[in-house]
Structure 1
Amino acid sequence: MEAVQFSLANKSLKHTKIPVPPIDDPKNVLVRVSYAGICGTDLHIIQGHFPCNPDRPFILGHEFSGTITEVGEEVTNFKKGDKVSVDPNIGCEKCAFCHDGNPHFCKKGGINTTIGIFRDGGWAEYVTCPESQVHKLPESITLEQAALCEPLSCLSHGWDLASPIKVGKNILITGAGIIGNLWACALHLHGHRRVTISEPNQSRLNNLKKLNLGFDLITPDQLKKNQENDSQYLFDFIIECSGFPPAIEHAISLLNQGGKLVIFGVAPPHGRISISPYDIYAKELKIIGVNINPYSYPNSIGMVEAMGDRYLNYDNLGIKVYPLKEYENAIQALKEGSIAKAIFKM
């Protein structure tokens, strides 16, 4: 089969042909991949800034959809031909964190066993997955749309942590990559209209107009000018999607009394920000970290079904589709910011 492998030792990617993986666990299924996304986390992995499998070359890709082509002997909930999306994350199901409903904090499982980060993932024609991590799709959802289930499951977890998000509040989204765009769509779906999106890349801002959300689209420089010209230019709720420490630091200064900051974008581990503890005290600020998607994958399927083509049209979201062999072009386009997201079509 066709695949793109990553080697941490060399920090290199390689387009290659390897055998189709066998079902070596009776509780596993074999999925023929249809669509597989490139996440910002994948870019951090390729740069050597995010933990991943250090022991061998492996296949990246933790956001994917496909069709089951084979099932293990002990699989009971799926059959050949089922359309599915896969939750890449699972805990050990034994530790205190897992029993407390926080498998994403699990030190044995969690990120340490993630499909596409520690185990072979979806940048290939086929991938094996445990039955417990596979979700059957309703007929109303296309495989193309289902490739967005994983990022939307993380968004759903962030929404739960930050709730209530009251309609009528002033909201700022920093960063118009795919996750910022999906947050914008989710807010619009829920009735929010007083939303500003800040993004330095003008082509990404221009592309956002295709979504026809009616939100205020500005650059970070315009954001700073508005703040300088009006001391009351503040936001009740800020969703930071860039992972850029200076943007996070600036966002904190834009919070109103009682404001919430959701740190959604993944910053580099060495990144640092400066913050006034007095402001946290005096304004009663809430700073909320969001780490992957514990038990929120079913919610993402519901969100995809509710959003439909109105919000999840690839072209309107700034998503470009590539064949697997053009992985270098896909990654370069993401780094340049000419697209919001790249997705492989097998």
Structure 2
Amino acid sequence: MEAVEFSLKNKSLHLVQKPIPEVTEPNQILIKVAYAGICGTDLHITEGTFPCIKDEPFTMGHEFSGIVEDVGSEVFDFKPGDKVTVDPNIGCGACHYCNSGEPHYCNRGGISSYIGIFKDGAWAQYINVLQRQVHKLPHDITLEQAVLAEPISCLAHSWDRIAPITVGQKILILGAGVIGNLWVSILHLQGHRRVTVSEPNVNRLELLKRLETGFDRVTPDQLKERHEKNPDYLFDVIIDCSGCVPAIEHAFSLLNKGGKLCLFGMASPQAKMSISPLELSMKEIQIIGLFLNQFSFPKTLGLLESMGDRYLNYDSLGIKTFALKEYRQAIEELKKGSISKAVFKF
């Protein structure tokens, strides 16, 4: 089968031929990949700024959907032909965090055993996964939509962390990549209308118009100008999807009293930010870190059903599909910002 492998030693990606994995354990499921996404985290991995397998090349890709090809002897809830998506996050099942219902904090599992980061991933025609990571798709969710399940699962967990967000509050989203666009979609779905999106790439701001939400779209410079002209130009909730420290630091100054600053974007491990502890206290601001959670996938499937083609249309979200062999072109277009997301279609 074809697969795209990454070597951290050489910081290089290569299209390779690998044998199709076989089901060797009773609780394994072999999946024929239909769609696999390129995440911002994947770009950080290829730049050497995000932890991953160090010693040997591995197949990347942690966002994917596909069709069950084969199952182990102890798999009874899935059968060949089932359409599925997969949670790449799994805990060890034995530590304090796992037993507390927080497997994403697990030091032996969690991010340190993530599919496509510390295990072979789905930038390949087939992938072997554990049964407990697989979720069967409802009939009205397509494989094309289901490749977005993993990023939306992060949003579902984040929604729980930052709730309540009351309709009528002023909300600012930093970044109009696909994560920012998905936040836009979910907020609009939930009835929010007082939403502003800040993005330096004007191409991405133009792409955002396709979602037809009517939300305000500005560049960071325009954001600064508005605040300079009107000191009361403030927000109740700010969701960072950029991981850009200067943007986050500026956003802190735009928070209303009692406001929430939600850090969703993945910053570099070396990045540091500077904020005023006094302002933090006097405004009673909450800073909330957002990551992922293994138990958010059932909610995610509900969100996918609710969003439907109105919000998950690839053209509206600025998503472009590529063949696996076009991986270099896909990454290049994603970095340029001419698209919000690249997805491999098999």
Q: Same fold (TM over 0.5)?
A: yes
Separation in 1, partners of 2:242, 2:281: 26
Q: For the Cα contact (< 8 Å) 2:102–2:293, is it kept in 1? A: no
Separation in 1, partners of 2:287, 2:99: 26
Alignment coverage as a number of residue pairs: 346
Q: For the Cα contact (< 8 Å) 2:4–2:124, is it kept in 1? A: yes
1:24 positional shift: 2.1
Which residue matches 2:304? 304
Q: For the Cα contact (< 8 Å) 1:238–1:261, is it kept in 2? A: yes
Per-residue CA distance 1:264-290 (angstroms, 9 max, x = gap)? 000001111110000110000000001
Report matched runs for 1:270-289 at 5 Å.
Answer: 270-289=270-289
Q: For the Cα contact (< 8 Å) 2:156–2:300, is it kept in 1? A: yes
1:8 positional shift: 1.1
Which residue matches 2:137? 137
Separation in 2, partners of 1:75, 1:293: 24
Which residue matches 1:158? 158
Which residue matches 2:80? 80
Separation in 2, partners of 1:266, 1:341: 16
Question: Which runs of 4 or more aligned residues in structure 1 lie more than 3 Å from their structure 2 counterparts after TM superposition?
Answer: none
Q: Which amino acid aligns with 2:92?
A: C
Q: For the Cα contact (< 8 Å) 1:157–1:294, is it kept in 2? A: no
1:55 positional shift: 2.7
Separation in 2, partners of 1:2, 1:268: 31
Separation in 1, partners of 2:278, 2:149: 39
1:148 positional shift: 0.3
Separation in 1, partners of 2:252, 2:96: 33
SS at 1:316's partner residue? helix
Separation in 2, partners of 1:86, 1:55: 26
Q: For the Cα contact (< 8 Å) 1:153–1:296, is it kept in 2? A: yes
Q: For the Cα contact (< 8 Å) 2:237–2:261, is it kept in 1? A: yes
Separation in 2, partners of 1:26, 1:100: 27
Per-residue CA distance 1:13-58 (angstroms, 9 max, x = gap)? 0011111011122100000000000000000111111111113211
Which residue matches 1:122? 122
SS at 1:169's partner residue? coil
Q: Which amino acid aligns with 1:213?
A: T
1:100 positional shift: 1.2
1:293 positional shift: 2.4
Separation in 2, partners of 1:264, 1:294: 16
Per-residue CA distance 1:236-273 (angstroms, 9 max, x = gap)? 00000001111111111100000001100000011111
Per-residue CA distance 1:49-107 (angstroms, 9 max, x = gap)? 11111132111000000000100111121000000000000101100011111111100
SS at 1:295's partner residue? helix
SS at 1:127's partner residue? strand
Report matched runs for 1:228-267 at 5 Å.
Answer: 228-267=228-267
Which residue matches 2:32? 32
Separation in 1, partners of 2:77, 2:238: 40
Q: For the Cα contact (< 8 Å) 1:27–1:131, is it kept in 2? A: yes
Which residue matches 1:199? 199
Which residue matches 2:110? 110
Per-residue CA distance 1:208-245 (angstroms, 9 max, x = gap)? 11110010001000000001000000000000000111
Q: For the Cα contact (< 8 Å) 2:32–2:125, is it kept in 1? A: yes
Which residue matches 1:95? 95
Per-residue CA distance 1:155-191 (angstroms, 9 max, x = gap)? 0111000000100000000000000000000000000
1:292 positional shift: 1.6
Q: Which amino acid aligns with 1:13?
A: L
| Cα root mean square deviation, aligned | 0.6
Separation in 2, partners of 1:326, 1:25: 33
Structure 1 portions without partners, runs of 5+: none
Which residue matches 2:335? 335
Report matched runs for 1:43-58 at 5 Å.
Answer: 43-58=43-58
Q: For the Cα contact (< 8 Å) 2:103–2:293, is it kept in 1? A: no
Which residue matches 2:223? 223
Structure 2 portions without partners, runs of 5+: none
Per-residue CA distance 1:284-315 (angstroms, 9 max, x = gap)? 00000011223101111111110000000001
Separation in 2, partners of 1:84, 1:303: 16
Separation in 1, partners of 2:271, 2:25: 40
SS at 1:5's partner residue? strand
SS at 1:56's partner residue? coil
SS at 1:10's partner residue? coil
Separation in 1, partners of 2:162, 2:44: 26
